[in-house]
Structure 1
Amino acid sequence: MLAPAASAGQLDWRRIARETVGHLRAGHARHPGGPQMAPLVAELRSHSSEFEACRIDHTVLERSTGSKRVHHPEAGELRLHYDILFLGPRVAVFLDGCFWHGWPEHATRPRANAEWWRTKLDRNISRDRETTAHLTAEGWTVLGFWEHQPPRRWPTQSRT
């Protein structure tokens, strides 16, 4: 909110700003009295009327999943679906459901309305590949995990 470039490519900047402030509130609630929170909030309040407008609506958000619409100078408008984004280190984390994202060993396809489901699920897999390729090309580390995998395997897998 202090860097105009941060919002320049965000097509849903107002929503993103409100969610970001909501996440900040949630973090503050988990770690009240943290030594870095008061100076950060003071700086944002004094330099960003947008932050202040979001702050006074008292939104608190815990969720990390969502989608962002961004404008890329070469690729145009992109919609990125994510489970968790770490903007500073540029890490995107996806937790994929076996049915919705086509785990090859045990994902099933419904028999009723089979053509519609095939198209829908194939598009999910295609979108996963497109999103991963785009983020990787932009210098992001993309991590992907399957819902059935034990968490002890999660920290070392990249999404392919």
Structure 2
Amino acid sequence: EVLKNALRYREAWNKSLKKSIIDSLTSLAKAGKLECEIEERNDIENLEAVVLSLGHSESGLGEPVGGDLRRDLIKQNGSLVYQQLFNGKVLVLINYPFIEKYGQPQPPKTIAIYRPEELKEPYILRHLETFVTDITNWEDYDDDAPEPNQRIGFKMNFEDAEK
């Protein structure tokens, strides 16, 4: 049964799902005036992906390379990925921006894993909203605001639960 499902899911990806994801992302990005690239990655059969990428840019940071020369550090601006899994299901994740030579990239954020028939345009819209929100928060990082569960004090983290 599970093997039959995997074959059915892979067939759905190839027949319609991949194109549906690309079409939805394209129309939603256009409607939202989001500058991005949508690409297919098909290096390995049945482990394909559709990637909405914000591309890369100069980070505003530079490193000296000798004399008066400086080299700009490149920033990857983040991506929203629909990755076909080995079992034919689809993993949706966010790759956060990162700047080369500036710490380690954050691990990707898994949004969800779907069977092909579950992945509809309203979900793709929600994924895109989550992606834009998360990337905006990354760009506007501020460590002055404490995380809700990181406050210090007696009963601090339990006050909200009691309300």
**Structure number having the greater helix percentage:** 1
**Structure number having the greater strand percentage:** 2
If you compute each CA radius of gyration, which structure gives the higher value, 1 or 2? 2
Is TM-score (shorter-chain normalized) higher than 0.5? no
TM-score, L = length of structure 2: 0.20
